Chain A
Amino acid sequence: MASLSDVQNAMVNVIAPAMYPNGTSNPSIAGVPIYVAPGDFLKQDLDAGLNAGNIYIAVFAVNGMTRPTTRFQRLFVEPKINNPGLILTVEANTVIVTGTIVANEAAMVIVDGVGYSVKVLVGSTVNSIASALAALIPSASSLNNIVTISNTYDIVARVSVQGTSREILYSREGVFRARVITPSHDQRELVGDAMEIAFGLNGYYMPMPDGLSASIRPNRVMEVNPYELDNAFLRDYLFLVEYHTTYVGTFQTVADTSMTLTVGALPPT
Chain B
Amino acid sequence: MVDFARVQNRIYYGYGKAAKRLGTSHSIYRSANGIDPITSPNLLGTQLISVDADLNFDRARKYGDMTWEFMPEDGLGTTLFALQNYDYMVGAQTTYFIADIAADARLSPPLCVECNSVISISSPTASLTPGANTYQQYQKGSGTERLRSCPAAILQYSGGSKEVTLKLPTSCKLPFYQVTLPDFDDVIIAAGDILTDDENRTMIIVSAERTKRVLGFRLIAAQLGT
Contact = CB atoms under 8 A, between A and B. Distances in A.
A95 to B, nearest CB: 53
A113 interface: no
Nearest to A33: B130
Given A43-B124, A43-B192, A45-B125, A35 B130 contact: yes
Contact of B138 (A13, A20, A42, A47): A42
20 contacts: A5-B135, A8-B135, A12-B133, A13-B132, A15-B132, A19-B131, A20-B130, A20-B131, A24-B129, A33-B130, A34-B130, A35-B131, A36-B132, A37-B132, A37-B134, A38-B135, A39-B136, A44-B143, A44-B144, A58-B136
B147 to A, nearest CB: 16
Contacts of A86: none
Contacts of A24: 129-131
Interface residues on B, range: 10 to 19
Contacts of B129: 24, 35
A35 B133 contact: yes
B131 A16 contact: yes
Interface residues on A, range: 20 to 34
A93 interface: no
A229 to B, nearest CB: 16
Given A13-B132, A36-B131, 7 more contacts: A15-B132, A17-B131, A19-B131, A38-B135, A39-B136, A41-B126, A44-B192
B95 interface: no
B128 interface: yes
B123 interface: yes
B125 to A, nearest CB: 5
Interface in B143-192: 143-144, 192
B20 to A, nearest CB: 49
Interface of B: 123-126, 128-138, 143-144, 192
B217 to A, nearest CB: 18
A28 interface: yes
A40 interface: yes
Interface string A28-65: 10000111111111111101010000000010000000
A55 to B, nearest CB: 10
B190 to A, nearest CB: 8
Contacts of A37: 128, 132-136
B104 to A, nearest CB: 34
A68 B137 CA distance: 28
B162 to A, nearest CB: 17
**The 7 residue pairs across chains A and B that have the minimum distance between CB atoms:** A37-B133, A16-B132, A39-B136, A24-B131, A39-B135, A16-B131, A33-B130
Contacts of B132: 12-13, 15-16, 36-37
Contacts of B134: 37-38
Highest count of chain B CB atoms <10 Å: which of A13, A20, A34, A45:
A45
A17 B131 CA distance: 7
A37 B129 CA distance: 10
Contacts of B131: 16-17, 19-20, 24, 34-36
B221 to A, nearest CB: 16
Contacts of B192: 43-44, 47
A45 B131 CA distance: 15
Contacts of A20: 130-131
Contacts of B124: 42-44
A206 to B, nearest CB: 14
A49 B124 CA distance: 14
Contacts of B123: 44
B125 A44 contact: yes
Highest count of chain B CB atoms <10 Å: which of A15, A34, A38, A42:
A42
